[in-house]
Structure 1
């Protein structure tokens, strides 16, 4: 495997970019989708669910994918998930009503549940120590660099027609040959006699559940950027789909650049300390976004927000792998993945009424307060020895 290590890492990193495509690619199309299906009941909410519906199906499928990955292996599940991803993602090119468009997005969510769960599990299988921490930073960087490329491209293509960005999901088929060629099934742990290990393994489930809950809350709050930002910018009289793409791309670019330093940060700080700093940056960014009055101030706020997210997400993945015994790694990765995407799904359901009652500015201000509170809690956790990992 050593002679293929660069190819192996590269393949896993490109697989990671598929998860960000789920939403960011079509985010600039949301206003046009709302207008196209304006006669559909509850279209304001349902058009936003084009972005977020995959998340609930990720949440449902990821724990099952984790069990399957632990029991039957990683690679085959990844291949099946990537094929399903490509076909379901491109279904938006043909869907002639909002219902069928949402069905395709639901199937896409099932595929993402498999891809993300297996991707996190393989990171724990293939890498250890500082190599793992560096990889997790690169994974987040690639994910967000992918977000830049896909959302900006999606914005440009959405100016042609709102359906065209759905063609980008064919990227899954371009990455698939590398998965077949360079990824191998990790060897299962064996007992000293050479037979399969039968020892009972357990995890600290209180830590697992606390991590899952924290992941859920973080994602409910931060996902108001991709799900509501296009409409917030329109509220600021910025109506171009490509401008929306550039704005979300700026958010992802900032996150990608800082995520590349995660390995260095991890060599000097415990994960809870890094997490606290990232949450504080996100609190600052949301407060700045609440006060934004135009494109420039919004972009500055998004840069700060992206910087925070660029260290928060690798911290979550690092904790996930750290507290998961190898035999339970798929299950725990699936649970955290489910929490993440359940947060994505819940986000517009929670934020849309809040916007209706109080407005965009109040929404982002209150999210800032929530992130500040979580940063304080993370600082307290950093002082507890068992979390100093």
Structure 2
């Protein structure tokens, strides 16, 4: 096992202040606002721009444009966070976030709004990579696992909150939800005054002086990134396809569909809150298997039942699986990648997560047309359960193959 960095072996007491924790958690909620906030505005926006050619397509692209540019921007953010520093990237990204996100309130061109949404995606990439890297720098061991679980929970609760607020004010005017993005500017004082640049980032900017033996664990990252890609492609079958599926089999409207999606996200947030407890009992590869099994169980259940309330029940394990998966992949990456490469590795993880979101409708649409939605959910559930079983049985061997220092043991405190 690689010996820990001496500067990284003991958490800095300053990082235990409530100001730092509150700032990092609130900043993390910005990442889920990118799409959810304006989703309820889309129908009215389409009416407003109905004279624009192909308005239906361009308005839908307003929602997905940030995800595409998060994919593009995350590798760049990963490079910048290791070279220019964590705090400076977070500060600049938060400023751009408020400016680009709120631009839709005043812009009167659909294509100008799309440009603003593209810049918003770049800002989200910078925020997500820098905030997660700061958490990994400030905390180690159990504290890191607990805080990253809390971060994922805040993102989940934030998604539910901002989606609800956006829907309420969109009833008044479709432009009003764009003003919610200015929330990032309220966090600027906290970023400037509460957060500090970790000393290891200075040494980490030069990989030759920081640790001559340090190298990127490529095989391990292939496993982690591949898991993130699969998980996001599969999970986004819910927001992309479930509304049409529920309408077809239960006659559910927009309110019932929104409740179902929020229900899954809510249980995801509760699971993330308890990730630290899971990490004390199970290794990273075991939690990965458990998460895939729970998501698969939920999807298999969706394929079996045709009652709205039963579908809500089977969405519970899906949400729990997602809530365990997200912090697990973040902590696994942060723990096993050397300090000099941490930002780039977390940037890559962000890239594959949002690439999965972007690819989900592209991958699922032809499968849905060929098999039908019921069979699609059922088969995906079976495949995930099989994958989870293989990960559980062959976890130790897989860890050896990818050179994971965690292996199959449950390692706690600073030894992980």
Q: What is the TM-score normalised by the length of structure 1?
A: 0.89
Distance 1:313 1:362, change over 3 A: same
Give CA deviations for 1:99-132 in whole Å, capped at 9, x if unaligned. Answer: 3333222111111111111122112111111111
Distance 1:381 1:77, change over 3 A: farther
Counterpart position of 1:226: 239
Larger Rg: 2
CA RMSD of aligned residues (A): 2.7
Superposed displacement of residue 371, structure 1: 2.3
Superposed displacement of residue 351, structure 1: 2.3
Counterpart position of 2:13: 2
Superposed displacement of residue 212, structure 1: 1.3
Distance 1:225 1:47, change over 3 A: farther
Contact 2:153 / 2:272 at 8 angstroms: preserved in 1? yes
Task: Point out the more displaced range, 249-258 or 282-291.
Answer: 282-291
Confirm whether residue 71 of structure 1 aligns to residue 91 of structure 2.
Answer: no
Superposed displacement of residue 264, structure 1: 0.9
Measure, in 1, the Cα distance between the counterparts of 2:104 and 2:239: 19
**Residues 1-389 of structure 1 correspond to what in structure 2 (within 5 A)?**
2=13, 5=16, 6-30=18-42, 32-33=44-45, 46-96=58-108, 98-188=110-200, 197=210, 199-235=212-248, 236-240=250-254, 242-291=255-304, 293=306, 295-384=308-397, 385-386=399-400, 387-388=407-408
Task: Point out the more displaced range, 146-155 or 331-340.
Answer: 146-155
Contact 2:103 / 2:116 at 8 angstroms: preserved in 1? yes
Distance 1:175 1:196, change over 3 A: same
Measure, in 2, the Cα distance between the counterparts of 1:157 and 1:366: 39
Distance 1:246 1:152, change over 3 A: farther
Task: Point out the more displaced range, 61-70 or 359-368.
Answer: 359-368
Q: What is the TM-score normalised by the length of structure 2?
A: 0.83
Measure, in 2, the Cα distance between the counterparts of 1:371 and 1:179: 40
Structure 2 counterpart SS, 1:383: helix
Give CA deviations for 1:291-347 in whole Å, capped at 9, x if unaligned. Answer: 454542332233222111110111111111122100110111111111111111111
Contact 1:52 / 1:227 at 8 angstroms: preserved in 2? no
Contact 2:288 / 2:328 at 8 angstroms: preserved in 1? yes
Measure, in 1, the Cα distance between the counterparts of 2:110 and 2:365: 19
Task: Point out the more displaced range, 251-260 or 160-169.
Answer: 160-169
Q: How many residues are matched?
A: 385
Measure, in 1, the Cα distance between the counterparts of 2:94 and 2:305: 39
